[in-house]
Every structure is written in C-alpha cells, then in structure tokens.
Amino acid sequence: MSNDRLNLNQQSNGDYKVHENGCIYYPTQNYDDLGYYSSCSSAVTAAMQKHPYKKINGCKTCSNPCHTS
C-alpha cells in the first residue's frame, strides 16, 4: 500500500497527476492527500470522484500502469 497524493498543479497538457509516496515527483505543496491504496487504479478512481472536473491520471514514473497521457 502506498500513500497517494494528487498534485493540484495542472500540467501543461491539462492533466493532474496522482503520485505514490516515494516518487521523485511526490508533491510536498499544493496537493490533495488521497490516502492509502493498493493500486494506482484505485487511487486514480478516488481522485476522479473527489475532483470530477479535473483531467486526472497516474504519474509516468510511479504509477505507469495508470499513465494515459
């Protein structure tokens, strides 16, 4: 299980990325603490439910199976 966070700084392509604890891009400021999840898909789903108007996907580095753009 990892403690996941949604970076609330929008990427240049419009995405908001979910990061796992330990990722080099794990946000320390301007984030939403999503909690502990056993998979990136669960964390991304939770982020989408909390932020339905944001384009959310996984970080290419730490959540590559959930990275779509």
Contacts of 15 (CB under 8 A, 6+ apart): 55, 56, 57, 69
Q: What token pair was written down for 6?
A: 């949604």
Domain boundaries, the chain: 2-66
Q: What is the mean pLDDT of residues 51-62?
A: 96
Give the model's pLDDT for residue 33: 97
Summary mean pLDDT of the chain: 95
Averaged pLDDT for residues 16-32: 96
Mean pLDDT of 40-69: 95
Amino acid letter, 1: M
Q: Distance between CA 66 and CA 15 in Å, rounded?
A: 13
